[in-house]
Amino acid sequence: MKFDTLQQGITFYENYARISRFDTHLSSTKKRKSNGKILLKYCVYSMEGFRETPKLHAECKKKRPITRMGCKARLTLKLINDQDNYEIFSFHEGHTQTLTTPNSSHHTKQSRNLTLAHKKYIMDNSPANIEATKSYRLMKEHVGGYENMAASVTDFKNFHRDIRKHIRGKDAQMLIENFKRKQQMCSPFFFKYEVDDKHHLIRVFWVDVIGRISYASFGDVVFFDTTFSMNEYCMVFAPFTGVDNSKSCVTFADALLYREDTESFVWLFEAFRNAMSDCDPTCLITD
């Protein structure tokens, strides 16, 4: 068989592998020294080659399973002229490992494809604090089973990781813009923030209309505490809470602080008084 481009030949073998229920990857390449054109391209089974002992993963420090079993199934594409046309130079069909069954073929790499619908579903669930694994399970129920997903939970996690990586450095601005939109939609929503000389967010305070109503009814005693674990931004979460007439905990307002110093607390308490119309609590309990 001949192909107009190298990618057409690679795609042909990937489609063949998907129908035959096994995974492939691109192996070594031989190039022409004069102009760097690819002379030979090897497409092999994902279990090609050997690995003597399991390698130790650098991040999780766990032993990775041995996935190379010396399978010789491969397709070799060869350049036949200077017009980037390729032909099948050699083909080895036999496998040393059992191929996946029809019921489990949707787990192979060739059958998995994170579609636009998957990505939108993950992004829509993110504001509701639904993580990638839970999004995967919920979507599985919508489509009727794992075999109809066309993607794996790892694909969901990787896309969620890519989203967080993409917004890194912009998330503080996104937070403030989100607060501005809330204030435009609901004028009682109150927020205040400050940045340092490098325009890094160092403290932010916010309270919604429910918090204001709750404070007007049950704000005689307020509990304030910052003994929460710091997150990746090294900011502490500082909520103002109280107790309603059914002895349930209610939240009046929230804040994020970069430093727990006098200046930050003075700024925070003044912001709280401004948000609550300068109505001080009868009692403030804190650490």
Residues 12, 82 within the same domain:
yes
Distances (CA, A) of 37 to 81, 85, 86, 170: 11, 11, 12, 41
User: Beta 240-243 vs 86-92: how paired, if at all?
Assistant: unpaired
In this prediction, residue 109 has a pLDDT band, given cuts at 50, 70 and 90, of low
Q: Which domain holds residue 232?
A: 185-286
The pLDDT assigned to 189 comes to 95
User: Which of 102, 132, 154 finishes a domain?
Assistant: 102
Residues 10, 96 within the same domain:
yes
Average pLDDT over residues 19-25: 72
Residues 29, 90 within the same domain:
yes
Residues 278, 228 within the same domain:
yes
Average pLDDT over residues 181-210: 92
In the chain, the percentage of residues whose pLDDT exceeds 90 is 28
| 94: exposed, middle or buried (Cβ count in 10 Å: 0-12, 13-18, 19+) | exposed
Residues 84, 159 within the same domain:
no
Residues 158, 234 within the same domain:
no
Residues 216, 146 within the same domain:
no
In this prediction, residue 140 has a pLDDT band, given cuts at 50, 70 and 90, of confident
Does 33 reside within a domain? yes
Least confident of 23-37, 46-60, 165-179: 46-60
Whole-number mean pLDDT of the chain?
Answer: 80
In this prediction, residue 159 has a pLDDT band, given cuts at 50, 70 and 90, of confident
In this prediction, residue 106 has a pLDDT band, given cuts at 50, 70 and 90, of low
The pLDDT assigned to 163 comes to 79
Question: CA-to-CA distance for 22 and 95, rounded, in angstroms?
Answer: 10
Residues 153, 230 within the same domain:
no
Least confident of 61-65, 195-199, 203-207, 267-271: 61-65
44-92 pLDDT, tens digit each: 776 565 565 555 555 555 565 555 555 677 788 888 876 778 888 888 7
Question: CA-to-CA distance for 149 and 136, rounded, in angstroms?
Answer: 9
In this prediction, residue 25 has a pLDDT band, given cuts at 50, 70 and 90, of low
Average pLDDT over residues 21-47: 74
Cα–Cα nearest to 153, from 105, 100, 107:
107
Is residue 188's pLDDT more than 80?
A: yes
Average pLDDT over residues 232-260: 90
- Determine if the pTM surpasses 0.85: no
Average pLDDT over residues 118-146: 82
Is residue 161's pLDDT more than 70?
A: yes
Question: CA-to-CA distance for 137 and 133, rounded, in angstroms?
Answer: 6
Average pLDDT over residues 248-254: 94
Does 118 reside within a domain? yes
Does 143 reside within a domain? yes
User: Beta 24-31 vs 38-45: how paired, if at all?
Assistant: antiparallel
The pLDDT assigned to 69 comes to 58
Domain count, the chain: 3
Question: CA-to-CA distance for 282 and 286, rounded, in angstroms?
Answer: 13
The pLDDT assigned to 256 comes to 92
User: Which of 102, 126, 152 finishes a domain?
Assistant: 102
CA dihedral 46, 152, 124, 206 (to 10 degrees): -90
In this prediction, residue 95 has a pLDDT band, given cuts at 50, 70 and 90, of low
The pLDDT assigned to 100 comes to 59
The residues pairing with 250 across neighbouring beta strands, listed in sequence order, are: 242
Does 230 reside within a domain? yes
Least confident of 4-13, 109-118, 155-164: 109-118
Residues 15, 55 within the same domain:
yes
The pLDDT assigned to 21 comes to 72
Is residue 93's pLDDT more than 70?
A: yes
Does 241 reside within a domain? yes
Residues 207, 141 within the same domain:
no
User: Which of 102, 130, 148 finishes a domain?
Assistant: 102
Q: Are 191 and 183 in contact (CB under 8 A)?
A: yes
Does 67 reside within a domain? yes
Q: How many CB atoms are located within 10 Å of the residue 46 CB?
A: 19
